[in-house]
Structure 1
Amino acid sequence: MPKNIEVKRLPKDPGPAAWNSILPAAPEYPALTSDIDADWVIVGGGFTGLAAARRLSQLVGDESIVLLEANKLAEGPAGRNSGFMIDLPHDLNSETYAGAHEHDLQQIRLNRAAIRFAHDMAEEYEMDSKVFDPCGKVTGAGSAKGQAHIESYRHHLEALGEEYRLMSLGDMKDWTGLDFYRQGLYTPGAVMIQPAAFIRQAAQGLSERVSFYENSPVIHIDLGNPHKLVTPKGSVKAKNIILAVNGHIQSFGFFPRQLLHVFTYASMTRALSDKEVTRLGGVGDWGILPADPMGTTVRRSSDFMGSGHRVVVRNHATLNQNMEVNSNNIRTAQKLQDKAFSNRFPMLNGIEMEHRWGGRLCLSWNSMPAFGEVETRIWSAACQNGLGTVKGTLSGMMAAEQAVLGKSDMLSEFLIHQAPAVLPPEPFLSLGAKVTMRWKEWQAGIEL
């Protein structure tokens, strides 16, 4: 008798996926309502799932590919992130985003390969420059302590042989319109995306080759040859499965006690009036990552497809091992974001936030992915350690290559990692994480 997998829980995402909400209505894909067969099934329609779908389509000839998304495309974490595709070291468990020298060089090579893959998707599917903009990124400091972080990061970049440019207080003022930032550090290799639009347009481009089903969560898998994936109204018999579900890989029973489920929170203003845009000044589109990893990420976007000029602020993080947030998490995040917005945008005092939301991240204690063949012909491409846009794309590519090719040069380099470390037991894990996160937020000071 085949072994069964009962999926323990389905995604619950607090608030709207704002980047999707501000776009015109999306094309809809059907729910799975019948019993079908496929050569390949991808579970999850975020950056990982779409990268896996595209790489499979390049590798498997005319074999059939089905993608099952639990909700609607771009409504989950893919439509909730800040839209940075970052090439340089960005370890969220680090004090400075940076790691060991050789490991960082490896990660840069792999991250840039993923960005090239995404760039090729953007070109192939004719995405607008506001959907995929290879403009680089800026790390900004609003305090002397933040400037010290930038100085440390600058030395690290020099040791890596990476290009950068320091931005003065005046440069930051001209660029953002804000008096808040004392200094910035620009690096050219990152890409800014409209994440929901990227997901939508990538899916549309792939839909000639891949069968998409929305609102079709997998609730049960019968392992066998073929496997059978059951959804509420249908099923798929498939030879091969790629689980592109990030932290929800644990809901399928894999990597127990190895993954950290973190939520980050953000707020987006209503569309600004022409007078408010003039009052703000600066350029129309920019994004700033905080010099302190626990600080506030800020992004300004100009009008795209009628979405209007808007500002997004993101800060605050909570560990929620049950993968659900509570009302206190939301209230705390709103207070912190309103304060961060007020500190940075006094000229926009009184502008209300139209959208507030939380987004799921999955981290491991040692910043390693949850990757590989977890059952016969079932591959996990999960645990992106806070960089879902880039590491998700990379993980999806690599899962497809491992499943089809078995080996490749890039896959060999990607596989040079350990398994996710086993976590401390509860309640020590959650209590320790809460104290540590709040302490680091306090230490961030004005950078938060």
Structure 2
Amino acid sequence: MALHTAIRTPADQAGSGWYELLPKPPPPRVLEGRRRADWVVIGGGFAGMAAARRLSQLQPGARIVVLDAQRIGWGAAGRNSGFMIDLPHELASDNYAGGRDHDIKQIRMNRAAIEFAASAAAEYGLEPHFIRAGKYHGAATERGQRVLAEFEQHLSSLGEPFEKLGADDLRRVTGTSYYAGGTFTPGTVMIQPAAYIRGVARGLAGKADIFENSPVVSIKSGPAHTVSTPQGEVETPRIIMTVNGQVESFGFFRCRLMHIFLYASMSQKLSSSQMSQLGGEDYWGLIPADPLGSTVRRFGDRIVVRNSCTYNPSMRVSEDLVKNFGMAHDRSFRERFPMLPDVQAEFRWAGHLCLSLNSVPAFGEVGQGIYSACCCNGLGTVKGTLYGKLIADLAAGSGGPMVEETLSEAAPRKLYPEPFMSLGAKAKLWWLQRRAGREM
């Protein structure tokens, strides 16, 4: 018998633009009283929804409870840029690429996750929020162009298709002359993340009981585990933890996870005349040549800019910090879109992501009947979906080659002792963002 008491629970401030654009959801269903379940999934993001959906497929009729600390889509699941990326995307590398064998495996697994998500989109009528649009990489500097040339060479070695683009090609797509060249790859899916994840939750109605505003404050493990929230508790033989970096709050993977926050701003709605001045295509997503540069995405009459990152072991950021980084977003927006001088940002937010030093997940059985599918290393949409599905396969006993491949990964490496870890992480992030230069 062991008691895992949460040191902290998620407390994201100010809703993301993705969430705020959606219709107001019905009042939350909050866990109250005592109940029993065959499965409890802690966390209602990409991994949690994938795990619950997969469990409902493997064990129809099983009593599945999903507990989320906030509203579905309010937290990290609704705070990303909405890229479901199939290709190598190592944020710690200089050009997104890793080792050849590693990348071949990751591509195969990422595409399996995308197809699992596509089947959910088709089943639940979410196709408008799930678009196979591909992605652009844009380079604004000579160094960025060299980085993309290396990336293209790596893609060629993997046998992956891509299109090399010049400045005029990118201008025709984006409307801006900011970029000197780029690369297009066709396999990425662009989603409206909050709409997609809320839609999956709706689609699971009748197959899983989903409770919102029900943060887990403790887990008492034993032959039958007891999962407690402020107003209720669930007794269950099996728990799946899909809370990404928050898994550390329960004492698992302590001092092995890095907590990073990224910052984004979404423009006000563009008028028809502003869209005419901008030109370009209505729907596209662009990733910077430098991993620490600006991600830019247009969807119809709005533009999102995401850049700037901080190391926050406390898993908290202030509203002032979000506001301060908003000024960096405004500068990046003005540099790219000088033809839109009057366009202001309507929404600003921060999003929590979790990395490990060796870029591996916190995956597997961490206690008798307690499973973890956490630490997505900056690819929460696709990796969360992947690990959520695979952890359900593992926990339900169905296994499979991808489960074994994921289990064969090394454990997340232990972080350096404090204060060296924080000092080193902050210094490195400062240097990498400074090196990004005009890519930011």
Q: Structure 2 counterpart of 1:55, which letter?
A: R
Name whichever of 244-253 and 161-170 sits farther off: 161-170
Q: Structure 2 counterpart of 1:40, which letter?
A: W
Residue 222 of structure 1 is matched in structure 2 by 220
Matches of 1:390 and 1:429 in 2, distance apart?
Answer: 28
Aligned length: 440
Is 2:289 aligned against 1:291?
A: yes
Residue 306 of structure 1 is matched in structure 2 by none
Matches of 2:146 and 2:160 in 1, distance apart?
Answer: 19
Matches of 1:71 and 1:247 in 2, distance apart?
Answer: 15
Q: CA deviation at 1:12?
A: 2.2
Deviations 1:193-224 (A, max 9, x none): 00011011111111121111000011011112
Q: Are the counterparts in 2 of residues 29 and 212 from structure 1 also a CA contact under 8 Å?
A: no
Q: Are the counterparts in 1 of residues 175 and 280 from structure 2 also a CA contact under 8 Å?
A: yes
Matches of 1:356 and 1:432 in 2, distance apart?
Answer: 28
Name whichever of 261-270 and 427-436 sits farther off: 427-436
Residue 347 of structure 2 is matched in structure 1 by 355
Residue 265 of structure 1 is matched in structure 2 by 263
Is 2:387 aligned against 1:395?
A: yes
Is 2:321 aligned against 1:329?
A: yes
Q: CA deviation at 1:162?
A: 0.5
Q: CA deviation at 1:276?
A: 1.0
Deviations 1:11-65 (A, max 9, x none): 1224322201011112444101121110000000000000001110111132110
Q: CA deviation at 1:281?
A: 0.9
Residue 24 of structure 1 is matched in structure 2 by 23
Q: Are the counterparts in 1 of residues 323 and 348 from structure 2 also a CA contact under 8 Å?
A: no
Q: CA deviation at 1:424?
A: 0.5
Deviations 1:116-136 (A, max 9, x none): 10011111111133x000111
Counterpart selection for 1:345 from 302, 313, 337: 337
Residue 273 of structure 2 is matched in structure 1 by 275
Q: CA deviation at 1:110?
A: 0.5
Counterpart selection for 1:369 from 355, 361, 367: 361
Counterpart selection for 1:194 from 192, 195, 199: 192
Matches of 2:389 and 2:159 in 1, distance apart?
Answer: 27
Residue 83 of structure 2 is matched in structure 1 by 84
Structure 1's unaligned 5+ residue stretches are 303-308
Residue 71 of structure 1 is matched in structure 2 by 70
Counterpart selection for 1:441 from 422, 433, 436: 433
Matches of 2:30 and 2:62 in 1, distance apart?
Answer: 21
Q: Are the counterparts in 2 of residues 26 and 200 from structure 1 also a CA contact under 8 Å?
A: no
Counterpart selection for 1:206 from 204, 207, 229: 204
- Runs of at least 4 residues of structure 1 off by over 6 A? none
Q: Secondary structure at the match of 1:347?
A: coil
Q: Are the counterparts in 1 of residues 170 and 179 from structure 2 also a CA contact under 8 Å?
A: yes
Residue 176 of structure 1 is matched in structure 2 by 174
Matches of 1:141 and 1:39 in 2, distance apart?
Answer: 50
Q: Secondary structure at the match of 1:348?
A: coil
Q: Secondary structure at the match of 1:343?
A: helix
Matches of 1:346 and 1:256 in 2, distance apart?
Answer: 46
Structure 2's unaligned 5+ residue stretches are none
Q: Are the counterparts in 2 of residues 157 and 163 from structure 1 also a CA contact under 8 Å?
A: yes
Counterpart selection for 2:417 from 425, 428, 438: 425
Is 2:114 aligned against 1:115?
A: yes
Q: CA deviation at 1:377?
A: 0.3
Aligned ranges 1:55-70 → 2 under 5 Å? 55-70=54-69
Matches of 1:163 and 1:224 in 2, distance apart?
Answer: 51
Counterpart selection for 2:144 from 146, 149, 164: 146
Q: Secondary structure at the match of 1:346?
A: coil
Q: CA deviation at 1:407?
A: 2.3
Residue 305 of structure 1 is matched in structure 2 by none
